[in-house]
Amino acid sequence: MMRQYELLERVKRYNPAADEALLNRAYIYAMRAHGTQTRASGDPFFAHPLEVAAILTDMRLDDATIVAAVLHDTVEDTEATLDEIRGTFGPEIGALVDGLTKLKRLDLVSKRAAQGENFRKLLLAIAQDIRVLLVKLADRLHNMRTLHFMPPEKRARIAEETLDIYAPLAGRMGMQEMREELEDLAFKHLRPEAYETITKRLETLTAKNERLVEEIERDLAQRLETKGLGAVVKGRRKRAYSIWKKMERKSVAFEQLSDIFGFRILVGSIDACYGALGLVHSTWPMVPGRFKDYISTPKQNDYRSIHTTVVGPGHQRVELQIRTRAMDEVAEYGIAAHALYKDPAQAPKPIGESRAYQWLRRTIDLLAEGDNPEDFLEHTKLELFHDQVFCFTPKGRLIALPRGATPIDFAYAVHTDVGNTAVGAKINGRMAPLLTELANGDEVEIVRAGGSQVPPAAWESLVVTGKARAAIRRATRTAVRKQYAGLGLQILERAFERAGKAFSEEKLKAALPRLARTSVDDVLAAVGRGEMFSGDVVRAVYADFKDVGRLVSGAATQGAGWVALGADALKMKLPDAADDPRAIPIRGLDADLPVRFAPESGAVPGDRIVGIITPGEGVTIYPIQSQALAAFENVPEAWVDVRWDVEAITHKRFPARIKLETINEPGSLAQIAQVVADHDGNIDNISMQRRTPDFTDVVIDVSVWDIKHLNGIIAELRAKRVISKVERLMG
């Protein structure tokens, strides 16, 4: 366990002006608070916060963060109180410990919705002070280093959570070294056999290539020295998880990987970076497609470096990263590098300037978009996990997107309105499908539709950015709600007309408290969805309205004149409502509309139809002869007037079902198909059942234009000698 003087020495190595009294006070306070507590390993519990503090001293963080690390478990695991912490160490440290205490109470390993809600809380907490995240990540890193002491079930849950959330979050904050170690430790517990196999192969390969690596380091350093660049060259190998992930992604064997070893060239300035690049490319041939310049276009986590691959000494592929020492510091420590002590007299760079922190703030803004916790977790993970591509608008604006992004993602990254109205795209001046995968350096121009437009709901499953998915889902919800509200308005207007009462939105607004709704649109949408009946709204607006029987009778005789008297009543001759101007027009089946046809009902234009309001589904359309309507006898308030809007459905087919009794002889089925084809019908489905040796029952689903078209097909079928009986089926 780290001694008190050792903690002081670690801090004073990079910050000679450290507050020794504060650090000593925190050490003694935490040691007394934890007392004889032990961890699963049997070590004193107090050793854990000290190790967390040690990890943070390697990042050279300020005194308050180090003290918060030492104290981070005291409120949750000891009798210490937050007020006591604030009184002893001040409000700044008290706020940090408070944030860490709240995070510790989150159970991220839980069912998906709860995990999403807790992830919201985590991001909200770290958005207040990024140092909370730095302590939390260091806490998780030490817990992962000692995870082998935990029970197997708990080990798997913690490792999965680390791989899902904490490692990607560390990467998004630019802390690549920490991300790689967290991933490796999680991989070790989740896939122990794969981890062991890859690790053994790495050790064998390292021993085999040790001399070659040293030769390349020496050769690079000498060549750079002769050009006066004074570079430091360091060889490094990929970690086990990184190798496994690449093998999975590219479906290649370990032996096929050519970039297991890489080299980092550290120079003093940006000019020296490009000088070193020129020397490397003029000395060894570059591998095409393996050059990336993250200095001119930094990643969103502030990572800056030049990546290239050359065919180096011994005809070996050599992967190089060229960067300044300051860039290397950011690459290693990420967002923590913005608070490093370069010089005691130099103030730390404000974290708010960090691109990674700006990404975090934008992610927090998604919380205000109204997505549910599960969606938020899904969208955030999408952005955490993906590498990036960099594209440009025609005016030169740089847009960073996850790998695999499409012009649709690009459009929403520019602006939500651009995404909602996108109908096409030009990539590098040429028209391209909206689903084209974008590549680094593409110039993308979005072709937009005039006026307002609702993006197709199918886009949601095709985009890869959280922002695009959230915007598409929100636009779809808004459009459907608007449609429900429009349907509800028509239903209410007719209900008030039947009641003999005047309808106005002003009167409806005055009745909102009695309807327990906050806006008129809420009421209209609720009526359209079937969550609120029109009769209840009439009575809420006109409290003195007593003629309930008249209203229900009107609702029950909705246009088609049907009265709920039992199943036999369905066969009554009823007045035709097709020309009733008060009925709601039905254009046909559209998945985006709150109007649908009942399964197997077979309603076609020309049929007398009735609408049934179903909660959550809107209006379901049935032919008036449908036996299924008997189930709604006792709910007359669910019935609504509907009529066909013939002009709007001129070029649309509708499904109908016909049952035939045919004679068993060769060619009978061909004759049926020929009749349907001759009448411009279309067979969607067919089923046959041998009833007797001489007769077969045939049920066919046909698509027709209207009732006249259907009756023509039925009449022709009846005229066939091989068909003894034809009838139309309606569920």
- Residues annotated as catalytic are 76-77
Within 8 A by CB and 6+ apart from 373, the residues are: 113, 114, 115, 116, 117, 119, 120
Taking the C-alpha atoms of residue 55 and residue 364, their distance in angstroms, rounded to an integer, is 27
- Which run of H or E residues covers position 120? helix 112-128
Radius of gyration of the chain (CA): 35
Taking the C-alpha atoms of residue 487 and residue 583, their distance in angstroms, rounded to an integer, is 11
DSSP of 412-460: HHH-HHHHHTEEEEEETTEEE-TTPPP-TT-BEEEEE-SS--PPPGGGG
Taking the C-alpha atoms of residue 552 and residue 208, their distance in angstroms, rounded to an integer, is 88
**Nearest one of 499, 582, 485 to 538, comparing CA atoms:** 499
**Nearest one of 551, 513, 559 to 533, comparing CA atoms:** 551
Surface-to-core class of residue 512, CB atoms within 10 Å of its CB (0-12 exposed, 13-18 middle, 19+ buried): middle
DSSP of 534-595: HHHHHHHH-TT---HHHHHHHHHTTTT----S-GGGGGS-----TT-TTSEEE----TTSSE
Q: Residues 338, 350: contact at Cβ < 8 Å? A: yes
- Listed in order, strand segments (DSSP E) in 184-245 are 232-237
Q: Residues 290, 309: contact at Cβ < 8 Å? A: yes
Q: Extract the tokens encoding 563.
A: 């009265």
Q: What angle, rounded to 10 degrees, do the helices at 4-14 and 20-34 form?
A: 140
Taking the C-alpha atoms of residue 55 and residue 146, their distance in angstroms, rounded to an integer, is 14
**Nearest one of 694, 690, 702 to 729, comparing CA atoms:** 702
Altogether, the residues listed in the chain come to a count of: 731
**Nearest one of 346, 447, 401 to 62, comparing CA atoms:** 346
What is the residue whose two structure tokens read 């967390």?
A: 52
Q: What angle do CA 319, 324, 325 make, to 5 degrees?
A: 105
**Nearest one of 208, 224, 211 to 320, comparing CA atoms:** 224
| CA-based end-to-end distance of the chain | 77
> Cβ atoms within 10 A of the Cβ of 423, count?
13
> Cβ atoms within 10 A of the Cβ of 458, count?
10
